[in-house]
Structure 1
Amino acid sequence: MTAPLNERGARIQLLAMDVDGVLTDGSLYFAASGDELKAFSILDGQGLRLIQKQGLITAFITGRTSPLTEARARNLDIGYLIQGRTDKLTALRELSERTSIPLEAIAYVGDDLPDLAAIETAGVGISVPNGCAAVRASADWCTTTPGGSGAIREVCEWLLTCRGVLDQLVDGYRAP
């Protein structure tokens, strides 16, 4: 990670992310009843809680509308849930206005073409390695961990490192 990128990371106040392909592996599972199923990584959840404790705001911006995404957002105390929005850049700009946080202080994580403009416009645009080629190429950074397997945890730990607090937080979990 380059120093200028880490400096930009230290200024991030809000982490916004897509859901399917970022918080999940991008697969959609349907039960015989027609009910949708999704798998979320517990590692991502812990990472989001850690950055929230440091005062960062979190947001999900997703093109689909899913009660499972709503339940996950509620479970993790996600500050903003925006569903059913395929124009991610417009949603990101609206979120910026609503929170009075400039786009330069927002990191956005995505994996597919609807995320492209948001990734290119955010203060730090991030892709996951299972993202499409155009998104990976346009991102400021691509995680090493795939979406659905802890990619958001990797982003959260990077943000905490940029703020200089990760080691201290980890030490808080060590035996006395």
Structure 2
Amino acid sequence: MSTDLLQRGKKVKLAIFDVDGVLTDGRLYFLTDGSEFKTFNTLDGHGIKMLIASGVRTAIISGRKTQVVERRAQNLGIQHLYQGREDKLVVLDELLGELGLSYEQVAYLGDDLPDLPVIRRVGLGMAVASADSFVRQHAHGVTQARGGEGAAREFCELIMRAQDNLDAAQTAYL
């Protein structure tokens, strides 16, 4: 893990996640009745819960809107949920105004071009391994795991490691 990523991670007070391609593998599943379902990784979910327990606030910003994401956010305790919002930078600015935070205090994990303006603006902007290559090029870092396959957990643990909270969170299970 690079020293630069750890330095950036020390300042994080808010971690924001995209959904499709980040918390999921990016596939969209539609049933014949028009309803939609998504699959989420339990390792990612527990990583988000540990990050919240360590004192970092969390948010989801997604261009799509589904009840499945609302339920997942509630189950994990994610404090801020924005769905159906294409311009993620506008949402970021709204959220920072509400919370009184600066860009450098934010970490963002994304995978596609609509995520790129936020990735480039925040203090720790990362892409998942399965992200679009242009997005990976312009992110501060890239996870080893693909979206929906542990990338969010890796991102959470990086922030916790940078803030010296990871060891305590893990050893609590011993």
Same-fold status (TM-score > 0.5): yes
Could you say what secondary structure the match of 2:95 adopts? helix
What TM-score do the two structures reach when normalised by structure 2?
0.97
Q: Secondary structure at the match of 2:101?
A: coil
- Secondary structure of the 1:58 match is strand
1:149 aligns with 2:110: no
Give 1:72's aligned residue. Answer: 72
Root-mean-square deviation (Å):
0.9
CA distance in 1, matches of 2:169, 2:58: 19
Where does structure 1 differ by over 3 angstroms across 4 or more consecutive aligned residues? none
Partner of 1:83: 83
Q: Point out where structure 2 has 5 or more consecutive residues left out of the alignment.
A: none
In the alignment of these two chains, the number of paired residues is 174
Aligned to 1:98: 98
1:119-154 deviation line (CA, Å, top 9, x unaligned): 000111000111111110010000000001111000
Whole-angstrom CA distance in 2 between matches of 1:79 and 1:54: 14
Rounded Cα–Cα distance in structure 1 between residues aligned with 2:165 and 2:80: 24
Worse-superposed segment, 2-11 or 80-89:
2-11
| Deviation (angstroms), 1:7 | 1.4
Q: Give, as a single letter, the amino acid of the residue that structure 2 aligns with 1:135.
A: V
Q: Report the equivalent of 2:164.
A: 164
Match of 2:58 in 1: 58
What's the secondary structure of 2:90's corresponding residue? helix
State the SS of the aligned residue for 1:32: coil
Note the C-alpha offset of 1:4. 2.9
- Aligned-partner SS, 1:49: helix
**Match of 2:28?**
28
Secondary structure of 1:109's match?
A: strand
Q: Identity, % of aligned pairs?
A: 44
List per-residue Cα deviations over 1:44-82 (Å, max 9, x = no partner).
110011011111000000000111011111111111000
